[in-house]
Structure 1
């Protein structure tokens, strides 16, 4: 084999996967058709659960340092309205604003530090697979060549050619909505009122927030430093290539159609356009070819795709590492589809709800929006929706009865034999962890059979949620010993969980 895993696409999903695979002891090769980091504006930040995962890898401070405005007070667009998290003490959804190009730069830097190879200007033109390998036909700056690997992961976007070559269906709907996003400064002739409204010459006052007209929707907000975050949404029959940059003339033409007037603007910091698609791969795996990120799912709402794609890779990487390392239990790699297809469906749930909220134009739709806005004024429903958007509520199915199984491990403050620590610090190496939080020597003894794959830690914490937790490399909990659970029962289920997720114990394999 030329390498262990071929990754097609060096966007955030592909680069995150490359780093995670290196932590799993796997040799990835990333093939990207663009010759250099792409400066076409796309995503403008990361948020939700992926921020916790970056902290669990020891990377969050690096990302925070690269953001000009870490964790601003959040009023999140949702279905043509706003969810106001600013009045909550601890908001369930947080956002770290930064350009996608900067996200890719940091992830590429991390992949390089870990020893991953990224080839830019190399396009994959064909793939074929057999029982043992997958081969990519590539054209690069010096001509055509082939690369063979154990697996190939398509991270090449919503129009993935690799997904099509693998015969994976990508069913769903494309909506007529075209969204144009911008970060600009208003012209000198525009007055910005204290509440954020704009006084537009020749037109009058335009209210901050969302303005609906017969031709679409205009939305804007002004930040304290004077930057205008403005978007338009309108139905169009034209199919745009989202990879082609938008210019100021296109944005102004859209504003004229929607509002009936131009808003003088200058100094564009971001101009981008995209269409709303609601699609999901029917299978995330076809033999030795897998899909992740936009190649696996597209959502008809903003601020979801990049976070979901990066979380796909964290779930997938350690499972590929287990397969290539030879210790994966039967069916482990198939759980990638089971779990991340489920997570993608949860994300589609709130994205589709946003479609219903924003596209309705009759009195019933107005009533729906009014009712939703009333509910979102109360903390409990607002927190629930926020957790859904952030993917905080993701609990992978079929893992067990305890409420913690399948959820993301909380970042407990720990007192270990080596001093103060935390769950996040223990997860920096992306290794499975058995965390014993009380005097349960029988659990440590059982786990010794898997000590080559599973780290064993004993610690105390002020408010322990259980006697012990088995935490997977992606941060999700695979097994729990309930507080004061009888030794025999806990020992039995721990053996089952270790075998189910981490294969045959070392002693059994030797014996």
Structure 2
């Protein structure tokens, strides 16, 4: 095994939004930071479509959007499950920026490199051991082992985090009984009639944009990609169905006939699209670690929490990174040891418990049948007032002082 003796202060595992932001933030503070990622290059699969919450403001403050043509705005209204939060034209508590995740990761990596972070792609972490002075990380590079050394290690390596599993930290929560099938589809202009907030589909009627269309068999959400990515063609839409799982298994490569069959089951009719791409299926999880680290090893982003709804993942992960960068920078300056994990855990666990509750509520609001109808009736009444809607908006923002 080859050993790299050049010691880093922090090794970050995973080059998703949380890991990239953490690396840039640490490097900007003068911390010698190394990012390891098992993939040879950035992921090309379309994922998230924007940043919602205080993370958008944190990104803007650091100039990450400068020159990119991206604008952080206050949302006058926002989707909350199948309902709408009416937050007002002035003083909305909720910020957002529409940016495809792939583009966001490009901007974050470029910024992190400018700050001085180092990247090693094609490095799959296989093991690590910690002692009183630091952490030894073992990785595989094209089948050859390599060892690296740092004072601290952070796992930002996703929901299936190897770092979390190696630490033996519990990841309690629930797995949804529903399956969601998602894709980009081409809807020719002559096949549907598009208005500002809905699409008229022959044989179906009016489908709302950006929020679920609920039926007795599940739900379907439709949105023009151009609203999120101005470079996209006018006739390309994001489509997502949700229905009871049955015996289906999630897959990263979903056949087109399976997507069409799911739409037909949910809508009771066909959606007249011509082609589909980036089709996949997922089963939602709602999970939260019992501990945000152990000793000199920490967790952030999806390695620490996954949400079943609401687009909160990037916001929560970036806010983890803001807090953890501050925590580690202070610990390194003071020569602190493993006790640095305590304050970070207490702050982020409490904040993300609130986020978890919000996303679980949004998931349940989309439920079919009388239970879902009763919940929607109750919550829509509570959100009818501007004050109630803004309170939920502040919670979605990730406001430090917001409480239920």
- Please confirm whether the aligned pair reaches a TM-score higher than 0.5, indicating the same fold: yes
1:16–1:272 distance in 2 versus 1, CA, 3 Å = farther
Mapped to 2, the partners of 1:182 and 1:196 lie a distance apart of 20
Counterparts in 2 of 1:383-462, with a 5 A limit? 383-394=390-401
Provide TM-score, normalisation by structure 2.
0.87
Task: Please list the CA deviations of residues 155-206 of structure 1 after superposition, one character each: whole Å capped at 9, or x if unmatched.
Answer: 00001111011111111111122223445442344231546544434x2424
- The aligned counterpart of 1:18 is 23
Match of 2:11 among 6, 14, 17: 6
Task: Please list the CA deviations of residues 34-55 of structure 1 after superposition, one character each: whole Å capped at 9, or x if unmatched.
Answer: 1001011111111210122123
Q: How many residues align?
A: 388
1:131–1:330 distance in 2 versus 1, CA, 3 Å = closer
Counterparts in 2 of 1:174-213, with a 5 A limit? 174-192=175-193, 194=195, 196-201=197-202, 203-208=203-208, 209-213=211-215
Structure 2 gaps, min length 5: 228-233
Match of 1:370 among 363, 368, 377: 377
Counterparts in 2 of 1:475-494, with a 5 A limit? none
- The aligned counterpart of 1:464 is none
Q: How far apart are 1:56 and its partner, in Å?
A: 3.0
Paired residues of 1:31 and 1:118 also in contact (CA < 8 A): yes
User: Secondary structure of 2:21's partner?
Assistant: helix
Task: Please list the CA deviations of residues 316-363 of structure 1 after superposition, one character each: whole Å capped at 9, or x if unmatched.
Answer: 11221222223559944410101011111110121122233222521x
Mapped to 1, the partners of 2:76 and 2:369 lie a distance apart of 27
1:295–1:12 distance in 2 versus 1, CA, 3 Å = same
Structure 1 gaps, min length 5: 397-511
Counterparts in 2 of 1:29-178, with a 5 A limit? 29-62=34-67, 65-67=68-70, 71=73, 75-85=77-87, 87-141=88-142, 143-178=144-179
Instruction: Judge which range, 262-271 or 12-21, deviates more.
Output: 262-271
Paired residues of 1:74 and 1:94 also in contact (CA < 8 A): no
Structure number with greater Rg is: 1
Paired residues of 2:23 and 2:35 also in contact (CA < 8 A): yes
Paired residues of 2:55 and 2:318 also in contact (CA < 8 A): yes
User: Secondary structure of 1:306's partner?
Assistant: helix
1:297–1:193 distance in 2 versus 1, CA, 3 Å = closer
Name the structure, 1 or 2, with higher relative contact order (CA <8 Å, separation 6+).
2
Q: How far apart are 1:229 and its partner, in Å?
A: 4.0
Paired residues of 1:232 and 1:258 also in contact (CA < 8 A): yes
* Residues 1:262 and 2:263 are matched in the alignment: no
1:297–1:73 distance in 2 versus 1, CA, 3 Å = closer
Q: How far apart are 1:71 and its partner, in Å?
A: 4.2
Paired residues of 2:86 and 2:386 also in contact (CA < 8 A): no
- The aligned counterpart of 1:320 is 328
Provide TM-score, normalisation by structure 1.
0.70
